[in-house]
Amino acid sequence: MNNSVMMMAMDQDPIKMLQDPISSRLGYLLRRASAAMMADLGAALAEIDLRPVEGTILILVGANPGCIQSDLGRMLGIKRANMVPLVSALATRGYIEKSPVDGRSLALSLTAQGEQARLAVETLMDVHESRFERLLAGRDESALRRALALIAEGPCFDDTEGGPAPMSVGDLG
């Protein structure tokens, strides 16, 4: 499965000796770095059958008991309409409790299970994050770029899959 073995030489390792004039773009580095961390976090949270968004919402509700759906959405940049199935799913799983506070607003809070899940999420996120922070040991100012490139490489992407990290079609930059 190792391509440097398959092709007997070590010259065209990355892709096809392709010129890369976009990795110097800050936005592109950010995108790749973000994608790398997202993939890692997604894999980590999959262990407790939770997506990154859901974990984030659990953390947010845990830190803001009684907050309402709309505020969460505004904070995360998620539209009201799309928040509905998100918190509904978490409520169905018994993680989030809704109690009307306003007639129109619902105050959200974590159930016991929800608090437990939130704790698990936070633990997994800590481990996940430390995996990447190790890469940024003693970095200085303009090393921001190099740091992002390092993150984009990622600590946990052997070549058992495709590239270093999944990338989206619509949002390359």
Partner DNA sequence: CTTGAATGTTATGAATCATAGCAATATTGA
Partner DNA sequence: TCAATATTGCTATGATTCATAACATTCAAG
Which residue, among 56, 65, 58, has the nearest Cα to 118 in the 3D structure?
A: 58
Single out the segment in contact with its own copies by CB under 8 A; choices: 60-68, 88-96, 109-117. 60-68
For residue 5, the minimal CB distance to DNA (Å) is 11
List the interface residues with DNA, window 64-123 (CB under 7 A): 68-71, 73, 78-84, 87-88, 98, 102-106
What 3-state DSSP class applies to 32? helix
Task: State both tokens at 7.
Answer: 């092709």
Answer for the pair 61, 69: CB distance below 8 angstroms, yes or no.
no
Residue 164 near which of its own copies, DNA, none (CB within 5-8 Å, type-dependent):
its own copies
Burial (Cβ within 10 Å: 0-12, 13-18, ≥19) of residue 118 = buried
Strand ranges across the sheet with 67-68: 67-68, 106-110, 96-100
Residue 163 near which of DNA, its own copies, none (CB within 5-8 Å, type-dependent):
its own copies
Single out the segment in contact with its own copies by CB under 8 A; choices: 11-19, 90-98, 108-116. 11-19
What 3-state DSSP class applies to 149? helix
Residues that bind its own copies (CB under 8 A): 14-16, 18-22, 25-28, 30-35, 37-38, 41-42, 51-53, 55-56, 59-60, 62-64, 67-68, 71-72, 74-79, 82, 86, 125, 128-129, 132-133, 136, 138-141, 143-144, 147, 151, 162-167, 169-173
